[in-house]
């Protein structure tokens, strides 16, 4: 395995331990960020993501909340392909429990810690003790950690 591939895998591992907590939805990327428990929407709905006009849209600007229901493309829904309507229905179902809080900013949660806060120690433990941790990273951070302490 090459160094670049190990670095990418480590970055993917790190990202998999972070989730966005949605507040007002203004900085959370609807398609790209991991903000739903079921996963990242661009991965769950790749076909719909492929035809999305704005792939970097925020959660706040992605769907419209009408009453207590989230609507996918409410103004142009009749222009969607039937498969896209089905996909939108599935996303709407996922969003049923999502609530936006206008006075609360979005924030990142570190899922390794129960309280959601990040610590260098928890990240180090993740790298050193995970079976997917790259050997060169384990050695490097073990050495760095011993120097730091």
Q: CA-CA distance, 97 to 70, in Å (whole number)?
A: 10
Per-residue confidence in pLDDT tens, the chain, 149 aa: 454 555 555 555 666 778 889 999 899 999 999 999 888 999 999 998 888 888 999 988 887 777 766 776 544 445 677 888 888 889 888 888 888 888 999 998 888 888 888 887 877 777 777 655 555 565 555 656 655 55
Domain boundaries, the chain: 1-17+112-149, 19-110
What are the residues facing 110 on neighbouring strands?
18
Does pTM top 0.85 for this prediction?
no
Q: Are 9 and 132 in contact (CB under 8 A)?
A: yes
The Cβ-side half-sphere exposure at 62, using a 13 Å CA radius, reads: 27
In this structure, the dihedral spanned by the alpha carbons of residues 93, 112, 22 and 101, taken in order and rounded to 10 degrees, is 110
Q: CA-CA distance, 141 to 120, in Å (whole number)?
A: 11
Residue 44: per-residue pLDDT: 94
């Amino acid at each position: 395995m090459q160094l670049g591939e190990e670095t990418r895998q480590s970055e993917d591992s790190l990202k998999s331990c972070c989730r966005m907590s949605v507040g007002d939805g203004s900085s959370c990327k609807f398609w790209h960020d991991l903000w739903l428990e079921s996963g990242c929407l661009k991965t769950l709905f790749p076909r719909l993501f492929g035809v999305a006009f704005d792939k970097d849209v925020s959660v706040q600007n992605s769907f419209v909340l009408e009453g207590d229901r989230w609507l996918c493309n409410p103004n142009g829904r009749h222009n969607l392909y039937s498969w896209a309507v089905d996909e939108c229905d599935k996303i709407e179902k996922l969003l049923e429990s999502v609530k936006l809080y206008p006075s609360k900013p979005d924030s990142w949660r570190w899922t390794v810690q129960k309280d959601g806060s990040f610590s260098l120690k928890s990240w180090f433990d993740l790298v050193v003790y995970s079976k997917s941790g790259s050997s060169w990273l384990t050695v490097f951070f073990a050495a760095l950690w011993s120097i730091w302490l």
